[in-house]
Chain A
Amino acid sequence: MAGETHRPGIPATKAPGLSQKVFNCPSCGGGIILRALGQSVSVACRSCGSVIDATNDNYQIISKASEQLTIEPLIPLGRRGKLHGVLWEVIGFMVRCDGPGIYCWREYLLFNPMRGFRWLMEFDGHWNYIVMIKETPTTDIARKGREAGIYMGKTYFLFHKGIAKVSYVMGEFYWRVKVNEEVEVEDYILPPEILSSETSGAEVTWSMGEYLEPDSVRLAFQVITPMPVPIGIAPNQPSPVSLHSPKIVKNWKAFIVIVLLFQMLNIIRFKNERAYSQSFVFQPQDVAKTQVSPPFELKYGTTNVEFTLHSPVQNTWVEVQIDLINDSNGKTIEFEKGIEFYSGRDFDGSWSEGHQTASILLSSVPAGTYHLNVEIAGPASPQSTPIHVLVKRDVLTWSNFFWTIILISVYPLIVWWRSRSFELGRWVQSDFSAYHHHQEGE
């Protein structure tokens, strides 16, 4: 896997005002431009690929290219572009691959006489802007069950360990670069940053990379040729739906607390008062006969009314139609409710279906004096059936509370799911994924 930026430590930048120098390749005679004169240690001839010592005017050949050059960098050597407010010039280009040579990535060495060297790295269309760092991060520690590194107080999780091998070079470099030289690499990520180490013998160098949108590279260096289309998710590509930094979790928590507090207040506030109760009897010959209750009072302004109907039906049913009539203005709220209960035994044992009690909640009923008109229907049967009606006023309800919780949680859940899917896509490329552990453990 790539995403790596591995090269020796950068020498201290010398005084500004450096000029270019042109000389002929001692191998093929082709013209070579030294752009970071006094800074570059080696330079690769773009005609023959030979790497030449650039530390003195002898221009000795360090290594010769074994095959014909065919790779043309997307950003040509000598191209200048402004990144993070600084004008950089591309002076070197190299291709590195992992140990087996399956994954290869491209690195551009940038130079500014005042700022020194930086790197641009491209892998699968994803770009990183890389700065070498002098401090050594703390590694070999565990955070949340994963190997991690700490740098500048921030925790970076290990994403990749492997080999990086130089497969192609062009232009100049600040060390004696050689094709096929290998280093051990480690990458730790905290999107959009990637902390990378390169180990060669006893020397360990660290760099810090920052994910760049391809368009920012294209615009900075006026790249005319089509940019490679990003494939997959880069190790340090920032999630477009990250839950870590946005205010969404904070907002969601605030809403939950407010709703919880208000529902607790409701528990205390609601009266849950028994306003009226009466038993009615259904006689089969009384079908369509209206039974009228005496008037009763509903108090407490405009609030709800709960009707609880109970009938000891057994393998039968009754249907109750109730009109709640306001005696002062005649306004009527009507509803129907069925009560049915069946039970018996079969091969599987005893069974039952339905209930002998049913309830219904009427919303926003104004205070006043009311009476009930009750019509009961049932099957033709010689038996009479009692129905008990209980009316409660100002009843605490939970449906509003739960619906509010659901509604305010839908968007955070979608964001969480999308964020998790993105992270799964990122870490599926890593041998150090916490998600792998979970899946294996499941």
Chain B
Amino acid sequence: MKNKHSLYASFGIITCIVFFYASMTGWAVWDSIQTKKWGPRGHSLVHK
């Protein structure tokens, strides 16, 4: 359990650092994923 808590503490610190970095550089992680991977390429509702 103790090791898991240490791992969690490390994970939390890294997550916070990534959040800081993303905020400082305007890196919107979720939007980047959407744009790059699943961003709309055409449209689902319309048949061309």
Contact = CB atoms under 8 A, between A and B. Distances in A.
Interface in B24-48: 25-32, 35, 39-43, 45-46, 48
A417 interface: no
B13 to A, nearest CB: 8
A401 B20 CA distance: 10
Nearest to A400: B22
A241 B29 CA distance: 32
Nearest to A401: B19
Given A247-B5, A364-B25, A400-B29, A317 B15 contact: no
22 contacts: A241-B1, A246-B1, A246-B5, A259-B19, A262-B16, A335-B35, A336-B42, A337-B40, A338-B43, A353-B45, A354-B45, A361-B31, A361-B35, A364-B26, A397-B26, A397-B31, A399-B30, A400-B22, A400-B23, A403-B29, A407-B11, A408-B15
Contacts of A255: 12, 15-16
Interface of A: 240-241, 246-248, 251-252, 255, 258-259, 262-263, 266, 302-305, 317, 319, 335-338, 340, 342, 353-354, 360-365, 379, 394-395, 397, 399-401, 403-404, 407-408, 411-412
A303 B9 contact: no
A303 B23 CA distance: 9
A338 B40 contact: yes
B12 A251 contact: yes
Given A251-B5, A252-B12, A317-B46, A399 B29 contact: yes
B22 to A, nearest CB: 5
Contact of A363 (B16, B18, B31, B46): B31
A363 B5 contact: no
Nearest to B32: A363
Contacts of B11: 407-408, 411
A404 B16 contact: yes
A247 B9 contact: yes
A204 B19 CA distance: 60
B26 A304 contact: yes
The interface centre, meaning the residue of B26, B32, B39 with most chain A CB atoms within 10 A of its CB, is B26
B11 to A, nearest CB: 7
A22 to B, nearest CB: 50
B45 A302 contact: no
Interface residues of B, number: 31
Contacts of A258: 16
A118 B1 CA distance: 31
A317 B26 contact: no
Contacts of A354: 45
Most buried by B among A335, A340, A403: A403
A91 B25 CA distance: 73
Contacts of B39: 335-336, 360
Given A303-B25, A336-B40, A317 B31 contact: no
Nearest to A402: B30
Nearest to A255: B12
B8 A248 contact: yes
Contact of A262 (B19, B25, B28, B32): B19
A365 B26 contact: yes
Nearest to A302: B25
A412 to B, nearest CB: 8
B17 to A, nearest CB: 10
Contacts of B28: 304, 361, 363, 397, 399-400
Most buried by B among A342, A353, A399: A399
B19 A363 contact: no
Contacts of B27: 304, 363-364, 400
Given A335-B35, A360-B31, A407-B15, A251 B23 contact: no
Q: Which are the 8 A-B pairs with shortest beta-carbon distances?
A: A303-B26, A304-B26, A338-B43, A399-B30, A361-B31, A404-B19, A363-B27, A255-B12
